[in-house]
Chain A
Amino acid sequence: MAGSGDLQLYRYPQSKSVDAVRWLYPLSTFDRFIATALYDTEDASSSVEIHSLNLNSDPENPNRSKPLLRPRSNWPSPSRISSLRTSEIPHKHVVAALSTFAGYVHFLFMDPIDVSVELELSTDEDQPLHNASVSVVDLQDGGHECLSVGEDGRVNLVSVGEGRLDTQLVHDNRGLVSYTAVKWGSQAEFATGGFGFGLQWWDQRKPGGLVSQLKGNWAQGNVTGIVHSIDIHPSRKHISVVGGSSGTVFAWDLRWQEQPILLSGVGVAGQSTFESEIWEIQYDIHAQSSSISSTSSTKILPVMFCSEDGILGVIEQGKAPIELLTEACAINSLDIDPQNPSDIICGLDWESIGILMRPKEAAFVYY
């Protein structure tokens, strides 16, 4: 097993393409659960597979043994899955929302104890929600509402109704602007991102919805590319951190909209860090930082990222990035366990799920 120091990486070959990975939020205290979107090239079939992760599989030697990852249930998807997000309806269901290449959004409701799929809801089968592929979805905390965006320029709000999914077209620019990322900021606000590192901030309470935007190609041709992932910290809703092409990670502060803060990428002075696609980013809620308690609201909190050239690392403003993993293949997706932030699940390009475990002692969760 690769890994430096106390880091442990476990790889679980799937013999299917791993398109997305997410932790689930079950009530069970013994097992942890993950949801993966898999694609089988042999018969071109897709599915969401729920695995349980049992950490102490060997009671004699709990520290060194490889955690057991066992498939528990499986939901066949009608089309290849483009994104997967999870949440929970407290005390009732574990929820997964997913989008497909065919342009639909599906919700899966799972039992909170044994995580079996109890109910599935899909958007209107006759009319795809998006023209062609849905780029990505984001599920609101509470599991009732989900946003979907696509390259077709539509922004949709999907909400759970009585035994069906209700959809509401928030915006449609008929393909003039393509959206490739979306993230909820609050109950009514969200951020979207797209080509040329363009970002938009929306507020559903305002007419038209669009509140402000970071214009595409803001860096005058020095840095340009596609936004792949946005994260917003619940305690700092005015800042969106963004990961995208050419190793670019930047933060957009709504209070200083004209000047995004570049954390990594070609434009960052003095460090030729990463040049590869940053596929996914997430605030690293585990990272230890001396300055957290005294952090002013302008300071960007540490961000975890994964990239096409196989790096999984943490970027902190004003510090050299830390590489936690360097894999031989691309790391396409990552998710930090919200309940155990030292543990990370990632989707490796070579048909594997990776589970990275960091030492727990360093845990310092800030909220």
Chain B
Amino acid sequence: MPGRLSEPESALIPLSTEVDVPLYHIRLGVKPPIFRVFISWSRGNVLQVACIRPLEDHLARGEGNETSDDAGLGGKVVEVKLGASNPNISEAQRRRIIYDSVPPFVLLQSRRKAFLTMSRMSSSSSHPSTDWWKQVLEYSRSISELLGSSKLSSKSVIEDPMIVLEPVEKPSSLKAAWQLMEIFYVDKHYFSWLPERLVDWLADYDAILSETQMTVHSKLVKLQEKLVNLQVIENEPEYWEGLSSVLTVGWLDVAVKLLRLHGSYQLNQLDSRETENGLVETVAVLVSTMPRLRHDLPVRKLGQCLKTKPDFIKAWEKWRGQITKLDCSAFWVQCSHRPTREGLRNLLQIMLGNFNSISTACFHWMELFISHVLYIRPLTVGFEEMHGLALKFMRLKSSSISNGLMRLLIGILGENTEVVMAECSKSFGPWMVAHSAELLTADNNQNEILLHEERYNLGGISIVELHRLVYCQVLTSHPLTWQVAPTYLVSCPKQGLGLLEILLSKQPVQNYPMILKNLEICQLNELYGISSFVKKIAGMHQWKHGRKGSGVYWLQEARDEARLNRIAQQLFECIGRSISDETFKQWEGLIELLGSDVGTAGGVGFLHRYRDFKRSLRQVKNGRPTRAARQTVESLIQLMKSPYTPQRFWLPLLHDVVELLNWKDQPLLNVSETNFLLKKLQELSMAQLCREFSETYLPPEALTEIRLALATNLSRAFLEE
């Protein structure tokens, strides 16, 4: 966690207190003096810091004198996680969003590709963006869904009349921001109903408008707490205040519910307060019949839904007329209960669009803004007008915008795409920018050009690509999400593939399932070079850790002949200079893996042929016929001819076949073959290797024996020919 050092004098590096940089306090538990500090990057934003004490100092103290284990440490490595994680959203939640947003993103990208090809083919017939926003809307809805549902946490079957504010989980500000962008940038279909959409938005997210300031929501929460204990509800000013607040922001259902809690509804009071009750009920009916210019009304929401402007204006004037009529009615005089009379008339004023009544009833500037479009200017749609209003109300409520959500809204209303993107990035992180860029360009050619234009100052990439690359870096820094990154990298035309190559070649190779997952991504993206590179690394890793079989397997897969040859040399040393039948049984599995294909096995392929040779030799010794003997000799010649057969195996090989050279029925080698073997023997003697071999592994007379056998064979072969 960043913070000031508590004891500046004990810091390793003195830092002036005026420097404004994030400081991380590391608890080392290592006593000074510290001799050296090593710092290196671990995965993601984790730093590994190693602190070492001088060696002499450690020794001088001696082991026995230490009181605690920690004090005696010669050094310590600690991990420091840089940057604070978002407090509003847990890491696990963040990863869930990352995972779940992949399918919608992929779907939209493939649709975009298809759309672009289609519009290119029929460029004359229709404008490309006519239908595109519908696809983006679908995408936006699926993303919105995965950001969390604002549904009730628990739903009881029986409705409690005392519960006006249903308990819901705290809405996510990420979702609030997403929906805000959807309303303004994507949903063109609903654009004429924009004010009502904002009313709905506020109903969902009023609770998170401000962390410190009072809102209608927080007012209502307080009222709800008191509601159960209040005896005569209509005598409480808070009841009327809450009532006017919920009405101003258009929560008609809550307002009506509150009105019906009025004491005059109680059966025992109905007779004495008839007029009062009539007034309350009339206001409740007026509230619930408020005309609303919107597409549809969800269940349990009140008002009359009107889809077109002329219809709305007609209904609006009629409704206003009814209110005015009630306001001037003589019944008010007969209403003896003062708070009710005043409270109800205040409600009427709000509905009539009295700015003062409205302004006192709401707290946050956004609430004032919403009530303004609800009751004063219900036909407001222009961005410029809305932006002006927003700024005006902010001044009026003398609030500064401290909240990321509000800054985003101002950016949107100000029609400033750069501000919107910057705000998305600052307040909601790389995920938001990478995914919301699609919303910005849904139906806005200017934004399309702005975001997709290649920029010299960004190294030739577009803003969209830049943000995707940033997001990918976040993905790759986590061991579980790195596999999601390739999906996004392939949608980055300029630098995506290059980064993907780096990502894949840097993955750990400790366990084979991870390697295989990695290779599958290589395969999908046709990165054969990287794939073979990964296999080579895997092969060397396995080999070095003593898993010879899998090491050879990976190197074979990578067709890395040079390394296989080098490995072969080490393998032969492991085997020893001559292979007994017993050892061969152990090597069987590895040899089988190598196969007989020299091309892939390289030098290691020798083992395979040597094993075949030994096997047929055994058959001869078990009394098999001449054919087996002939086969043995043939594989001997092949072995001796092969450049991969190590020289030190030559003599033992020849010694193994002495018996065959003196084969009774016929000479098994012809003249040229015998000459070839003699030549090899000569080569050996020249290299001065014979002595050493015969001394250690073969009887001293071996060399002579072989020479004699070869000579005999040669003479017999001559005669035969």
Contact = CB atoms under 8 A, between A and B. Distances in A.
A175 B589 contact: no
A360 interface: no
Given A221-B597, A308-B520, A329-B99, A195 B550 contact: yes
Contacts of B586: 173-174, 176
**Majority DSSP secondary structure for residues of A touching B:** loop
B99 A308 contact: no
The residue among A41, A178, A215, A224 with the most chain B CB atoms within 10 A of its own CB is A178
A78 to B, nearest CB: 17
| Interchain residue pairs A-B with the least CB separation, the first 5 | A15-B92, A177-B589, A216-B593, A350-B99, A215-B592
B615 to A, nearest CB: 13
B542 interface: yes
Interface centre among B90, B91, B516 (most CB of A within 10 A): B516
Contacts of B93: 15
A133 B483 contact: no
Given A151-B547, A224-B557, A180 B516 contact: no
Contacts of A195: 549-550, 553, 593
25 contacts: A15-B92, A17-B480, A82-B511, A151-B512, A151-B547, A151-B550, A153-B547, A173-B549, A173-B589, A174-B586, A176-B590, A177-B589, A178-B549, A195-B553, A196-B593, A213-B589, A215-B592, A216-B595, A221-B597, A226-B516, A276-B520, A308-B516, A332-B513, A351-B95, A351-B96
Given A41-B478, A151-B542, A217 B593 contact: yes
Contact of B595 (A152, A217, A350): A217
A216 to B, nearest CB: 4
B517 to A, nearest CB: 6
Given A180-B512, A221-B597, A213 B99 contact: no
A42 interface: yes
Given A245-B516, A349-B483, A351-B480, A213 B550 contact: no
Given A131-B546, A195-B549, A195-B550, A328 B589 contact: no
B88 to A, nearest CB: 16
B587 interface: yes
Contacts of A224: 557
Interface residues of A, number: 49
B83 interface: no
A236 to B, nearest CB: 26
A328 B549 contact: no
A238 B418 CA distance: 68
A277 interface: yes
Contact of A328 (B102, B516, B523, B592): B102
Contacts of B510: 133
Interface string A102-114: 0000000000000
Given A196-B593, A198-B589, A277-B516, A176 B99 contact: no
Contacts of B553: 178, 195-196
Interface residues of B, number: 43
Interface of B: 90-93, 95-96, 99-100, 102-103, 106, 478-480, 483, 510-513, 516-517, 520, 523, 542, 545-550, 553, 557, 586-590, 592-595, 597, 600
Contacts of B600: 221
Interface string A158-187: 000000000000000111111010000000
Given A198-B592, A351-B95, A328 B547 contact: no
Given A13-B96, A213-B589, A213-B592, A175 B546 contact: yes
Contact of B590 (A42, A177, A332): A177
A17 B480 CA distance: 7
Nearest to A197: B593
Nearest to B90: A15
Interface of A: 13, 15-17, 41-42, 82, 101, 131-133, 151-153, 173-178, 180, 194-196, 198, 200, 213, 215-217, 220-221, 224, 226, 228, 245, 275-277, 279, 308-309, 328-330, 332, 349-351
Contact of A177 (B102, B106, B479, B549): B549
A245 B517 CA distance: 10
Contacts of A101: 511
Nearest to A352: B99
Nearest to A214: B592
B592 A216 contact: yes
Contacts of B517: 277, 308, 330
Contacts of A173: 549, 586, 589-590
With most chain A CB atoms within 10 A of its CB, the pick from B102, B479, B592 is B592
Contacts of B516: 226, 245, 277, 308
A15 B96 contact: yes
A213 B591 CA distance: 13
B568 to A, nearest CB: 14
B713 to A, nearest CB: 35
A82 B589 CA distance: 24
Nearest to B99: A350
B480 A41 contact: yes
B160 to A, nearest CB: 21
A220 B549 contact: no
A151 B479 CA distance: 23
Given A224-B557, A308-B520, A351-B480, A15 B589 contact: no
Contact of A152 (B91, B478, B480, B547): B547
A309 B95 CA distance: 20
B548 A175 contact: yes
Contacts of B102: 328-329
A19 B527 CA distance: 28
**B95, B100, B512 interface centre (most CB from chain A within 10 Å):** B512
A175 B549 contact: yes
A215 B595 CA distance: 9
Interface centre among A153, A175, A176 (most CB of B within 10 A): A176
A149 to B, nearest CB: 13
Contact of A133 (B511, B587, B597): B511
A329 B100 CA distance: 10
Contacts of A228: 513
B589 A220 contact: no
Contact of B589 (A16, A216, A221, A276): A216
A355 B283 CA distance: 53
A226 B556 CA distance: 13
A153 B90 CA distance: 42
B103 A174 contact: no
Contact of B593 (A175, A198, A277, A330): A198
Nearest to B593: A216
Given A152-B547, A277-B516, A351-B480, 20 more contacts: A15-B95, A41-B479, A82-B511, A101-B511, A151-B512, A151-B547, A173-B549, A175-B545, A176-B587, A178-B553, A180-B512, A194-B589, A195-B593, A198-B589, A217-B593, A220-B595, A221-B600, A328-B103, A329-B483, A330-B517
Report which residue of A177, A224, A308 has the largest number of chain B beta carbons within 10 angstroms of its beta carbon: A177
Contacts of B594: 217
B550 A277 contact: no
Contacts of B595: 216-217, 220-221
Contact of B99 (A226, A332, A351): A351
Contacts of A196: 553, 592-593
Contacts of A332: 513
A16 to B, nearest CB: 8
Contacts of B483: 329-330, 349
A221 B593 CA distance: 11
A151 to B, nearest CB: 5
A173 B480 CA distance: 34
Contacts of A174: 546, 548, 586
A228 B515 CA distance: 13
B635 to A, nearest CB: 18
A176 B548 contact: yes
Nearest to A195: B553
A350 B102 CA distance: 11
B70 to A, nearest CB: 21
Contacts of B545: 132, 175
